[in-house]
Structures are given as C-alpha cells and as structure tokens.
Structure 1
Amino acid sequence: MAGRVRAPGRHVWQSCAAGNFSPAKSTLGNEAPWMPTVGASTLDREIRSATKLGNGKIYRGQLLFQPGNFQPALVPLVYPGSNGDYLSTICSDGQLTVDAVSGKVVLCEATGRDEVEKGEIVLRAGGMAMILMSTGAQDYDTIADAHVLLTSQVSFLDGTKIKGLYKLHRAPHGYNSLQGHSVPRRRGPHGG
C-alpha cells in the first residue's frame, strides 16, 4: 500500500485491474478512487455441447471436458431433486446414492459456485455424466468449467424444460456430447 501512495510523487503511473462481479451496473470498480481502473474484454467464444434426450429433443449448452473414449449412447437420466429437497436439487455431498445415480446422467441445479465440486460428488456416486442447469439469476449464461466428468451446462429455460420432461416420463434417457469450438465472425464489444 505504501508503494501505491508514494508512486505518484515519483511520477510512476499505476493502474488496477477492474474487479467484475456481474454484468449489472456499478459492479466494475476499484477501492481507490484516485487510481485509474482498467477493464478488459473477453473473447466471445463457446465450447458447445448438446444434451440429447430419448424423445429426440436437443438442448444446447457448454462443456469443457469430454473423455477421449466417450461413445454417445442414451442412458437413464436421474434428477435427485425431484423429491423437492433443496440439497438434492443441487447435488450436495451426501445426497446422492450409488443405487440412484450409478451409470446415469444426473441432473443438478447450479448455484453459481462450487459447480466442479458437484461433478466430483456425482462421479464418486457412480454417475456417468451431469447436466448442470443454470439458475434463474444466470438465465441464459452457461459456463464451460473444467469438470471431472462429462458435464453440459444448459440455460435456465432449457433446464426447466428438461426437469418438466423428467417429471412427465419418470424414466427418460439422455446423453451429453461435444459439438465443437465456436468463435463468432463478428467481434463482440470490447474495451479500447
């Protein structure tokens, strides 16, 4: 801190990286009002996935990890949260049993944090893959995290549709697959 206070007197230009807590107003900023704050943009890129259900419906999402030996095949889907228990909907530790999820695609609701840990919990319980459903606050935002098992994050709307189909059919099947890397031709907005 002392260096930051003395630097301007020695004609040393300083800047701080802007913290970005969300896409909402007033979330990009810095604690020191005299310090120039520099923001950066990200590349408008997707690592696409497709979650295909047994009824032929395909839901787009993002996934980062796909094992090299993965062979797309329809396997049973399970939604631990169908019992209405919140900890089960988010696939919390201790909520999944081997009998319930082994060899299946597991539907888990996102919370905005610890999503990779959810995949570890699903994997320990024997789950083959995970569909991570975004929250209402995330809306259409999906994130390609480095999960430990095949995981596709779908939008809130698509997650709601998948849960509805699960409740309707009770024994649906599905799988996740990598659809490739996408960079749009037109650049998105960026800092100058």
Structure 2
Amino acid sequence: MANGTAAGMAPRAHLAIYQVCHRDGCNVSDILAGLDAGIKDGVDIFSISIGGGSALDQDLIAIGSFAAARKGIFVSCGAGNDGPDNFTLSNEAPWVLTVAASSIDRSFRASVKLPNGKVILGVSLDQPCNFTKNSLPLYYSTESRACDMDPPDDSHRGSIWVCEADGEFPKDVAAFIKSHGARALIFISPKVEATTILMTELNFLGIWLTSQDGSDLILYLISASNHSASIIFNGTTNLGISPSPVVAFFSSRGLSRTTSRILKPDISGPGLDIVTAWIPSSDTPEYAIKSGTSTSMPHLSGVAALLKPHTLLSHRQLSSRRS
C-alpha cells in the first residue's frame, strides 16, 4: 500500500526520548520532569505529542514549555484531534508552534462501478489482489441504514452491503456484515468528514465513500431494481490528488480559550493517512498508516531541526560582525 523507503524529516538529527506517558495516561509531574530533563540535557527542539483542553493559565505544558522557550528551545505541539468544532484547541501558548493536521496528495484508491457505467471514487486500506471484478448484488436496507439489524432472511448472503455511518465503529460494522455472509462493504462516511475520510483497517474487503458520493449511490439503489455493482481496487495514487492539502475534519480549531488575540493553530502538516513508525500493544515496532495531529506535528518539528542550525549560524555571524 505504501512501498518505499521510510525516512525522517531530519535524518541527521539526534533523538532524545523522554517517556512521560504510560498505558494508563500521562501524569503532569512526569511531563514537567521530562521538560526539565530536556532543558538540562541541552536539547534544541521539543516535539510534544500531548495535549489537553485547558485554558492557557491552567495549561501546565504551556507553563513548563515557557522555560524551554526562554532558553531558545523550539517547542512544537499538536493542536489536538477534537475538531471540527471551534474552541477545541490544545497547546495554544504563543511561544509554541501549534500544528494542525492536513491531507496530502496521495490516496489509497478504490471505486464502485455501476451497471450504467458510472464510477464512484472511494478509498480503502484493505485492498486484495484477487477480488472479483464481476458485478455483485448490492444490499441496502432503509430500515437499517447503519447495518445494525439482522436482515429478514438469507437472500442477501454473498452481496456487497451498503452501510451509512451512524456512530458505529466501521470495524464493528464489517464484522457484523461478515457474520451474515457479506462479500464486501461500502461504507458511507459521515458528512462532517467531507473529503478527509478517517479510515481504519477493517480486516475485510471494504471501500469508503464520502457522504456526497454515498448519497448518489443511495439514489441509484432506491431508483433501480436488481441493483448491483463491482468494486475495483486501484492501489496507491501518489500524486495529483485534488483538493490537497485540506485540513482534516478532526483537527482541532481555534480560537484560543484565553483570548481571541491568539490565532491558532499556526500551521498544518501531513496528518491524514501517513505511514508512521508504530508500536502496537504487542510492543513490537512496525509501520502503520495513522492519522492525527500527533502525526502532523513531528513533520514540523523536523523542519525546525533542519532550519535551526542555519538560524543559529546566522545569529553567530551577525554577532561576529557587530563585535
């Protein structure tokens, strides 16, 4: 799905990792101790993937990072994943770089092809190499739009099920329809997600459609009889996806809770469907496709690592000229 060579933003940088969170959460005392340790060790950049909803005068990360900023340490933080509502921002301190999450011009493409030749584009993280390209019957129930009720009989076994988002986890929907003999899932994402669909691996054949494209498919289902479709898995499209970048729906928005004079987030970075180093519950390092401001923020921390040595050199040259 995302073959290639993995590389960091600043591959020659040295990393110092301070563990301040554990399986049961993050203690404020540990966070402050980690910041103190980093300042003492002489780090150049803090890349902090922790946030909360506290106002500025109650945010201990802001208070702790202020000491780092006073010593010239660049602090990069995630904006949080509580969007798209306003005033959901984390890390609103003016002395930190607050990073939102946006999409990139890569997509894991799949499409639904209707008998009339219409092709509806979608995305998928579960793409088999040998799924049939023939049309299969579609199953959609107006009484169970979210696919949360047992069908009245077994006549729809072997069909592609069309399910609308309604608060259920897509993985649970996939498991439910699989137990009823479905061949694949067409999942219509919530309207709030727009084009920034938040995918997860389903461990089942599935395609995600935007709310708008899903509405077009439902119109076909309601108007046609003996409806069917084929799912075509197109693999990875690496360039030219439009529109991009787009701020992801889940990325927290401003304004600052403290004062509207603080305009945040400062910038966005790649944070939707990004190939990341990942340590799952098994504690075995591997790679995964993840989304969130914890994914976008390290990109900007890396850019800062590339720029800061040149900034320091410029300051030294300026000081030398003045002396």
What's the counterpart of residue 191 of structure 2?
136
What's the counterpart of residue 233 of structure 2?
178
What's the counterpart of residue 109 of structure 1?
164
Q: What code does the residue aligned with 1:172 have?
A: H
What's the counterpart of residue 127 of structure 2?
66
Deviations 1:40-90 (A, max 9, x none): 65661210011111221110000111233312110111102x2xx3xx111
What's the counterpart of residue 90 of structure 2?
29
**Matching of residue 48 in structure 1 with residue 109 in structure 2:** yes
- How far is 1:143 from its partner? 3.6
* Length-normalised TM-score, structure 2: 0.50
What's the counterpart of residue 90 of structure 1?
146
What's the counterpart of residue 2 of structure 1?
29
- How far is 1:127 from its partner? 0.5
Q: What code does the residue aligned with 2:213 have?
A: D
User: Which secondary structure does the structure 1 equivalent of 2:192 belong to?
Assistant: coil
Residues 149/34 of structure 1: CA separation in 2 closer, same or farther (3 Å cut): same
Give the Cα–Cα distance (whole angstroms) in 1 for the partners of residues 228 and 34 of structure 2: 62
Structure with max Cα Rg: 2
Q: What code does the residue aligned with 1:175 have?
A: S
Q: What code does the residue aligned with 1:91 have?
A: C
Query: 8 Å contact 1:29–1:37 — kept in the other structure?
Result: no
Give the Cα–Cα distance (whole angstroms) in 1 for the partners of residues 110 and 207 of structure 2: 6
- How far is 1:171 from its partner? 1.7
Percent of aligned positions that are identical: 22
Give the Cα–Cα distance (whole angstroms) in 1 for the partners of residues 139 and 132 of structure 2: 19
Query: 8 Å contact 1:63–1:144 — kept in the other structure?
Result: yes
Q: What code does the residue aligned with 1:152 have?
A: I
User: Which secondary structure does the structure 1 equivalent of 2:220 belong to?
Assistant: helix
Query: 8 Å contact 2:128–2:233 — kept in the other structure?
Result: no
What's the counterpart of residue 48 of structure 2?
16
Query: 8 Å contact 1:49–1:180 — kept in the other structure?
Result: yes
Give the Cα–Cα distance (whole angstroms) in 2 for the partners of residues 113 and 7 of structure 1: 38
Q: What code does the residue aligned with 2:120 have?
A: Y
User: Which secondary structure does the structure 2 equivalent of 1:99 belong to?
Assistant: coil
**Matching of residue 168 in structure 1 with residue 217 in structure 2:** no
User: Which secondary structure does the structure 2 equivalent of 1:179 belong to?
Assistant: strand
Deviations 1:124-146 (A, max 9, x none): 11001111112222233334421
Give the Cα–Cα distance (whole angstroms) in 2 for the partners of residues 142 and 181 of structure 1: 16
User: Which secondary structure does the structure 2 equivalent of 1:71 belong to?
Assistant: coil
Query: 8 Å contact 2:127–2:235 — kept in the other structure?
Result: no
Give the Cα–Cα distance (whole angstroms) in 2 for the partners of residues 142 and 149 of structure 1: 18
